[in-house]
Structure 1
Amino acid sequence: MLEYDIEFAEFLYYSPTEMDIESPFWLLRAGHSIAKPGYRVGPRRIECYSIHFVREGRLVVESGGKRTVLQAGDVFCMYPNRTYVYYRENDRDNLQLAWLRFDGPGMGRLLTHAGFKPEAPCRRGKWNAELQGLIEAIFAELRAEGRDQIAACLELKSMLYRFFSYFIQLGEATETDQTVKKSWVAHSMDYIKLHATEGITVQQVANFAGLNRTYFSTIFTKSAGISPADYIANIKMNKAKEMLLTTSASVTEIAYSLGYPTLFAFTRAFKNYHSLSPSGYRKQNNSQ
């Protein structure tokens, strides 16, 4: 750490690579500090997203006419193009902070998934040994010198994904947000379209969404107007019809191509869906 007017601090900078810029988000800089008596910053406006961690002491943040008092363990996100003032609540207690600053087109959505919103930017009591270990690993990566740029980019990105995953797994309110629900339902539908022919199950899709199967099925059905099991079946049946009418593949080949364990399982599912066997469907439509 170096000494400055209002703090002892270490500032760590990162120059985003082309690979970073092509991703939804990237790190810009990071750091940690020990505040001096009279510590006060602002009013100031930033052009990126800044996540602050209160490691020790109490910090007052003012923005948009709202005053928030943060204490040890709290995490607070500052948003772009908003004015902030933050300072020590008192000079009796030590104040130690850490921070990460990000940018990128996907940051707003990612923060919402992680439980942060402009109108509710604080998550209480989340600083613990696990999060501290993640932050220290990120700092160590930023301090490293002489590494291959692409390797360093990928290593740092993996740490940052673990960082956001940590907050998302904590839950709290994000699952009740309608925008987020629509987002993960849409992603789940895309996932099903991509993997339906590989024999995926509703449980696997729920795991992909990171949700309990019952909760996932209820919200998916309400949002999409169809159950996930029926949606998977629709995708597979539509693909089956396409293959029957546009290829010369045998019914057995189509069955295995669509992820069915046996020919019988496919023909039974197809007949239940279309009231015709696969061979009958092909014959009827090719004769028209």
Structure 2
Amino acid sequence: MQQSPALVMFERVKEESFHYYDRLARVRIFVEEKGNEPITLTEAAHVAAMETTYFSTFFKERVGISFTDWLRRVRIAKAMEIMREKDCRICDVAFAVGFGDVGTFSRAFKRYANQTPQDFKRSSRP
């Protein structure tokens, strides 16, 4: 199965930035620990000990995409991992990775994975 261009690009996002910049590493850990809870740009900026506007610019310059775009991609990648490993309902996967509703999850999934969650689930499980 061929990966979508959006997910291929996500894998190329400046990952070294998270290792090189301690503030970004703290944000990544924060996101991993919060799991499925809502996360705002302001919260992430606070974790990085920066003003929100400066953090937004800093993140985009260092990582190559906005914080909210990165967060969505992280959540979609996690959803794909869950669907490969378990037979779960799409709504359960959406909530498990931090989306507040299934419609938003499905639109984001299609945008980044270039297919619906249902199609991905069918193609990734034997």
TM, length-normalised to structure 2: 0.74
Q: For residue 193 of structure 1, what is the aligned residue in structure 2?
A: 32
Q: What's the CA shift for 1:247?
A: 0.5
Structure that is richer in helix per residue? 2
The match for 1:248 is 87
- Are the aligned partners of 1:236 and 1:258 in contact in 2 as well (CA < 8 Å)? yes
The C-alpha deviation readout for 1:58-92, integer Å capped at 9, x for no partner, is xxxxxxxxxxxxxxxxxxxxxxxxxxxxxxxxxxx
Give the equivalent residue in structure 1 for 2:116.
Answer: 277
Q: CA RMSD in A?
A: 1.8
Which residue type is aligned with residue 203 of structure 1?
A: T
Residue number in structure 1 paired with 2:67: 228
Does residue 260 (structure 1) correspond to residue 99 (structure 2)? The answer is yes
Deviation (angstroms), 1:191: 1.5
TM-score by length of 1: 0.35
Percent sequence identity is 26
Equivalent residues of 2:26, 2:47 under 8 A apart: no
- Asked whether the equivalents of residues 196 and 235 of structure 1 are also in contact (C-alpha less than 8 Å), the reply is no
Which structure has the bigger radius of gyration? 1
Deviating 4+ runs (over 3 angstroms): none
Number of aligned positions between the proteins = 107
Choose the corresponding residue for 2:77, options 219, 232, 238: 238
Query: How much has 1:229 moved relative to structure 2?
Result: 1.4
Note closer, same or farther for the CA distance 1:190–1:226 as it changes in structure 2 (3 Å cut): farther
Q: CA deviation at 1:196?
A: 4.6
Q: Which runs of 5+ in 2 are unaligned?
A: 1-19
| 3-state SS of paired residue (2:36) | helix
Do the aligned residues in 2 keep the contact of 1:255 with 1:262 (CA within 8 Å)? yes
1:207 aligns with 2:35: no
Structure richer in strand, relative to its length: 1
